[in-house]
Every structure is written in structure tokens, then in C-alpha cells.
């Protein structure tokens, strides 16, 4: 009895692992195997080649992200621009005329004039300085009021469409509204006056 070979058990044969629901279809590897798979040399034989490869990979990823920002390809955009909510915020901002996008070029022209006019007409320096201060601070105040209106509108539209407003979305829209339309990234996909998609 002691030296007799054991017979295989009679009964139902267990199902293979892959057919069980929720199974990954393979046995879990041991810790030793997992560590061996992660192990790689600390010092690469050819450092220059490794650095060059890393640089090429980073440049390729950067170029793809830049191209996606130009074309509006959501899948390849950087993470901070992805998502239906952010796309909707961009469309809401791009569909309206924002005072800040008009104010900054005008302020730049005023600053250039204030640099060169005193050379031509020194007697207007005081008047020009006062006028510049009034225009700049008045413009900034109007931009702040416009941003408050935009903030309110974005909150209302986002709540209607998506329910709860995600943190940072309204700020994302206001920062976009401050930028000159031509230089916004991702590029505007709709024209002024169009309905947001």
C-alpha cells in the first residue's frame, strides 16, 4: 500500500484558468520573476546613444503635441487640454468677443506711442502720462468686469451641460479669454458668434 502509485482522481476536470470570468488567463508571476523583468543595467554602455534616443523621443512627442494643438486633435493634445469639458470651455470663450483680447493690442500701441511722442513733443509728456495711466487702469478694470461676466456664464453653461463644475475649468476659460485669439493654443475651432459645440 505504501509503494502503490496513486491513481488520478476520478471526477470532473477543472476548467482552464482563461475560461473563468474575470480571470487574466495566465498564472500570476512570482516576485522574483517580476523583479528580474524590471532589472536593467544602471550604466548604459553607450551613454551618448541613449541620450540621443531619449532626445529624439522627447522631440517627437513635443512635435506631435504641438501639431495636435494646431489641428484640435484631442487624443494627442497635452493632458491639461483634453476632455469634453475643456473643449466646451474653449468653444464658449472662442464664440464671444472678449474685451481683454482687444485691450492688450491697444495697450501695446499706447505704450509705443508714449515712448516716442515725448521725443517729438516734450511739452505733452505730463498729459500723455496721465492719459496713459487712465487708459491702462480703465482698460484693466473693464477686462476684470468682462472676466466676471464670463465666469458667471461659464459656470451656468457647464452646470447645465455637465452637472457639477470641475475645479479649474472656469480659470482655464478666463486665462484663454485674456489671450489674443490668434495666439491661443489649442487653436480656436469656431468663429465669433457661433454656438459652442
Percent over 90 (pLDDT), the chain = 29
Is the pLDDT assigned to residue 9 strictly greater than 60? no
Cβ pair 76, 67 in contact under 8 A: yes
Is the pLDDT assigned to residue 67 strictly greater than 70? yes
**Arithmetic mean of pLDDT over the chain:** 84
Q: What is the pLDDT of residue 142?
A: 94
Q: What is the pLDDT of residue 10?
A: 63
Cα 22 to Cα 46: distance, rounded to the nearest angstrom: 44
What does pTM read for this prediction?
0.67
Q: What is the pLDDT of residue 96?
A: 93
Q: What is the pLDDT of residue 193?
A: 86
Of the pLDDT bands very low, low, confident and very high (cuts 50, 70, 90), residue 172 is very high
Q: What is the pLDDT of residue 155?
A: 94
Q: What is the pLDDT of residue 12?
A: 57
Is the pLDDT assigned to residue 16 strictly greater than 70? no
Q: What is the pLDDT of residue 92?
A: 94
Cβ pair 45, 53 in contact under 8 A: no
Of the pLDDT bands very low, low, confident and very high (cuts 50, 70, 90), residue 36 is confident
Is the pLDDT assigned to residue 56 strictly greater than 90? yes
Cα 8 to Cα 11: distance, rounded to the nearest angstrom: 9
Of the pLDDT bands very low, low, confident and very high (cuts 50, 70, 90), residue 157 is very high
Please name which of 107, 174, 168 lies closest in space to residue 147, comparing C-alpha atoms.
174
Cα 140 to Cα 123: distance, rounded to the nearest angstrom: 27
Q: What is the pLDDT of residue 104?
A: 86
Which residues are CB-contacts of 174 (< 8 A; sequence separation ≥ 6)? Answer: 147, 150, 151, 154
Amino acid at each position: 500500500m505504501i509503494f502503490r502509485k496513486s491513481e488520478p482522481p476520478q471526477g470532473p476536470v477543472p476548467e482552464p484558468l482563461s475560461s473563468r470570468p474575470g480571470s487574466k488567463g495566465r498564472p500570476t508571476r512570482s516576485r522574483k520573476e517580476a523583479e528580474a523583468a524590471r532589472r536593467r543595467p544602471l550604466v548604459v554602455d553607450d551613454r551618448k546613444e541613449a541620450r540621443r534616443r531619449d532626445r529624439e523621443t522627447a522631440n517627437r512627442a513635443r512635435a506631435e503635441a504641438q501639431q495636435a494643438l494646431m489641428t484640435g486633435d484631442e487624443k494627442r493634445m497635452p493632458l491639461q487640454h483634453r476632455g469634453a469639458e475643456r473643449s466646451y470651455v474653449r468653444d464658449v470663450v472662442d464664440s464671444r468677443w472678449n474685451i481683454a483680447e482687444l485691450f492688450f493690442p491697444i495697450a501695446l500701441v499706447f505704450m509705443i506711442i508714449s515712448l516716442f511722442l515725448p521725443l517729438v513733443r516734450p511739452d505733452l509728456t505730463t498729459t500723455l502720462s496721465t492719459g496713459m495711466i487712465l487708459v491702462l487702469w480703465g482698460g484693466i478694470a473693464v477686462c476684470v468686469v468682462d472676466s466676471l461676466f464670463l465666469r458667471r456664464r461659464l459656470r451656468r453653461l457647464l452646470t447645465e451641460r455637465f452637472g457639477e463644475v470641475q475645479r479649474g475649468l472656469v480659470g482655464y476659460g478666463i486665462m484663454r479669454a485674456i489671450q489674443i485669439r490668434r495666439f491661443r493654443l489649442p487653436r480656436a475651432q469656431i468663429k465669433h458668434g457661433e454656438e459652442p459645440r
